[in-house]
Amino acid sequence: MHCPFCRHPDSKVVDSRTTDDGAAIRRRRQCSACGRRFSTLETTSISVIKRSGVTEPFERSKIVAGVRKACQGRPVTEDDLAKLAQEVEESVRSAGIAEIEAHEVGLAILQPLRRLDVVAYLRFASVYQAFDDLDDFESAIEILRQEQDQTVGQQALVESESHAPRRSRRVSAKPQAKVQSRTQRKKRPTDTESSPEQERLL
């Protein structure tokens, strides 16, 4: 790599650190000619194949830009969009492929976007799942309602089990009664021994 200061082609690595949750390596280099240092960022490249057949490098910024349009007017922050883009990139890279179609990238966005905001999800899904009419929207909304009902039902079941009273184990009183009766028998004066009251009367 050429030095950005003197354009010398040779440099040495003096420090390396991972960044972006291990998806990239940041290297600190020193030019062997002028001695000045500069940083480089190395990542594995993923190409996105568009419908026209043109390929372009995968970029998080393009995911954020596309999802931001669907989230207009919704309570979604820039941090939320950045986290979503990171989750999508991790999902794409975990597939272990060097090229992916743009349509597949759009489908990878749907699941995390559904968890983030259902209205933005419906807007985004209407494009990437090619909704034709209101029936497609109604079907998607019905699926969301069913999933929410299942989630609420599972949460209610867990809460009812956690608040259910536990049965206490009852300890039988019979053994204690036997022990008490034995001690009482031991404390009773025998016929040959005199009690303190009897001694006072004597």
d(CA 28, CA 175): 79
pLDDT in tens, 33-68: 999 999 998 877 889 998 888 999 998 899 999 999
Which tokens in the block code for residue 127? 């494009």
Per residue in 107-144, pLDDT tens? Answer: 899 989 999 999 998 888 887 776 777 888 788 788 88
| 179 pLDDT more than 70 | no
Cα–Cα separations (whole angstroms), residue 200 to 116, 190, 194, 196, 197: 91, 17, 10, 6, 5
More confident residue, 149 or 91: 91
Looking at the DSSP assignment, which residues form a beta bridge with residue 37? Answer: 30
